[in-house]
Every structure is written in structure tokens, then in C-alpha cells.
Amino acid sequence: MSQSNGKPYHARAAELSRRPVRPFGRMFAIGTLLALSTTLFAGVALNSAKSSSPIFTEGERAAVESLKSTGEAFAAVSRNVSPAVVSVTAEKEQPALQNFRGQMPGNHEDLLKRFFGDRFEWNTPENMPRRSMGQGSGFIVSEDGYILTNHHVAGDADNVKVVLRDDREFDAKIVGSDPESDLAVLKIDGKNLPFVALGDSDDVTVGEWVLAIGNPFGLSDTVTAGIVSAKGRSSVGITDFEDFIQTDAAINPGNSGGPLVNLDGHVVGINTAIISRSGGNMGIGFAIPINMAKNIFDQLVTNGSVKRGYLGIGIQQMTSELSKTFDFDGNDGILVGDVSSDSPAAKAGLMAGDVIVELDGKRVDDIGEFRNWIVAIEPSEKVKLKVWREGENHHLTVAVGERPV
């Protein structure tokens, strides 16, 4: 048998077997400690390096400070507005499922009973009530507890619950709802309720910073920032009357009904919808201008419903082709396609083929904007129209009627 260091192999092996074995755990712990120690000392060295030489030039530092100021503005707006933003949970009873027993063709019912026995009877729903749950956002607009949100969030609900940032929970009353504008007003009874300040959406400018606050996917008190991407978006196909503010602030399911806020801390819009291929944010969100919402809010609180102005005409946008057809100079204006008999427009002398170029001195160049102007006018109020007819301008006064429901 071979030897090692003058000792037989088996004797050498026995000696080795009697030596204590160091556990891997201790080796791992020591190794970890060494690694951490090395990192800590390296960190001290790095911190020393940071303090010894400036990272930014003077010009860069000014730019960084400007960004920090913007971030501080975001934080200030969030602190002041978020307490008045609420989570809205709406519950609605759906029509009962119909019992399908006795409605199956042939002997299929007997066949199912043969395989499943009495379980077939037990598992068959019969007039079973169903309830659907929806969640969105809203915001308190007055100290007495009025809340603005979207119609699609809570307008058709049987029961609505509202939760504040401070975790207070309230049963909310639906004061009124307007599907055509997708707005709804709720009311809660509470003390020391926070509320937002409403701004002027007409003063919003494309490119300015805005914050979207709400509860996307049930994540309460979420704040995202972006800019106003566009104003006056219509023909989007979301509501009957559209004048949306477009923003790239991240808006997701659950943000509906929450406020769009400027850096003055004033609400300028109500987040309503997104364009998305995935169901999530893709940088194209739409908010109802707060000025439109103010008018709807006042009517819902006062009357519980909304009255809209009505002329009784069919209209379409002027185009270069239509301008050539009617020998009209320019592409602005709204072409009157037809006039309903005995309508306010007919009584004022408006005719098919007329081109409306002004409304109360304001230039008319967009069909969506014109419709929004008309429906916002109080019924019985008079407006002045400037119309082009066969090469001549005419001035008509129309007593606006009430739009049929």
C-alpha cells in the first residue's frame, strides 16, 4: 500500500478524518461580512470624492435647481389637492339570470340529469340576482360635500360609497347625472370636508404642466404629471358633447372622475377617458373642461337634470369641396344641411344651404365647438347669427329652444 509523508495511506486518512470541519455557513457569513465591509469603506471613499469635486457646472446647477423647483411645485399641489380627491365605489344590480330548465332542446335536459343527477338541479341558477361593482375617482367641490365625478363611474349605480384620503367612508347620494356629457354629482354628509378650488379651463394653454390625481386600479392617492397636449378635442366618440383637454399625464382605469390640476392647484378638467391598445396608459388621455362641468353641475344641483339649447338644424363642417359647390369664399363656417319645421331656426328664417359664419360675434369654424356653444345657451335666450346666403351676408336673431330629450 502507498505511503504519504512516511505514514501508511490508511493512517494518513484516519488523521485527516479526525480534524474538525469548518461549516460552510460560517465561511459564507465571514465572506459576506468581508464583502459588506469592503462596500462600506468604498462608500466612504466615494462620498469623499463627491464632496471634493462638483458634479455640475454653474449653468447645469441652475438647470437642476429649476427642475427641483418644478418638483417642489408638484409636491405642493399634491399636498393641497389630494385630500379632497375621493375613491368612488359603485354597485349596481343587474337583471336576474333566466332559468334555463325546460328550455333545452330535445332530451338534453334529461341527458344532463343522467350524468349529474341532483347536482344539475342545484347548480341551475333561477332568478339569481347579480351585482356589478365599479371603481373610480371623484373630488369634493364644496365644504357641504358635493362631489364631481363621471356618469360612467356612478351615474347608474344603486349604491355608491366614497372613501376619503383620511380613510373616512360615506354612503353617497346621487344628486344627478348626465350621460351626454358623462358627468355626475354626488353628495355626502360630513364635517370638516376638504374641497378643491375650480379653475378656468379657457385659460389652459397647450404645453403647460398638469397633474392627474385619482385611484388607478384601486391605488388610492396616485399623482401623475404631464402637459396639456391639446385643447378642444371633439369627434373622439366618447360623449355626445365633446370639448376635451388632451394630456399625456398617465391616466389609467380607475382615474375616471378624478381632477386634472394646474400648478396653481386649481382643477381645470375631469379625467374621463384614454385611447389605448392595451387598456393602460399610452400617453393620450382626455379630460372634460371644468368650465363645461360647472354649467352641468349647477343644473344638476338645482334641477336634477340638464336643459340644453336647441336650434333645430342639421349641420356639417365646411370643406374646400363644399365651398366650391356653393361658391363660398373660404373653408370656415358651418353649412346648414336641413332645418326642422317649426323649429327656432325655421322661425328665425334660417334656410338649408346657409353657411353660419358667426355666433354672437364669434367666428364659427368648428362644428363641435358650435354645437357646444348652442347646447350651453339657456333655452329662450336670444342669439345673433351671421349667415352667408348666395353671396350675401344676413344677420338673424334666434330665440334658442330647449333640446328634446
- Write out the chain's pLDDT in tens, 405 residues: 545 455 554 444 444 444 444 443 433 333 333 333 334 444 445 454 455 566 888 888 888 888 888 899 999 999 999 999 999 999 988 776 555 454 545 555 554 445 444 544 444 455 566 778 889 999 999 999 999 999 999 998 999 999 999 999 999 999 999 999 999 999 999 999 999 999 999 999 999 999 999 999 999 999 999 999 999 888 777 788 888 999 999 999 999 999 999 999 999 999 999 888 777 778 899 999 999 999 999 999 999 999 999 999 999 999 889 998 888 988 889 999 999 999 999 999 999 999 999 999 999 988 888 999 999 999 999 999 999 999 999 999 999 999 987
Q: Given 178, 182, 248, 354, which residue is catalytic?
A: 182
Q: Given 87, 152, 178, 201, which residue is catalytic?
A: 152
Is 220 assigned a catalytic role? Answer: no
Q: How far apart are CA 256 and CA 148, in angstroms?
A: 11
What is the CATH superfamily name and number for domain 83-187? Trypsin-like serine proteases (2.40.10.10)
Classify 70 as helix, strand or coil. helix
pLDDT of residue 98: 54
CATH code for the domain defined by 309-402:
2.30.42.10
Non-local CB neighbours of 375 within 8 Å, separated by 6+ positions: 241, 308, 309, 310, 403
Phi, then psi, of 302 in degrees rounded to 5: -80, -45
**Chain centroid to CA 304:** 24
Q: Select 197-294's CATH number: 2.40.10.10, 3.90.45.10, 1.10.3720.10, 2.40.50.100.
A: 2.40.10.10
Is 108 assigned a catalytic role? Answer: no
pLDDT of residue 277: 77
Is 342 assigned a catalytic role? Answer: no
Domain boundaries defined on the chain: 83-187, 197-294, 309-402
Q: Given 87, 234, 256, 266, which residue is catalytic?
A: 256
Q: How far apart are CA 176 and CA 379, in angstroms?
A: 20
- Let me know if the fold of 83-187 is the same as that of 197-294: yes
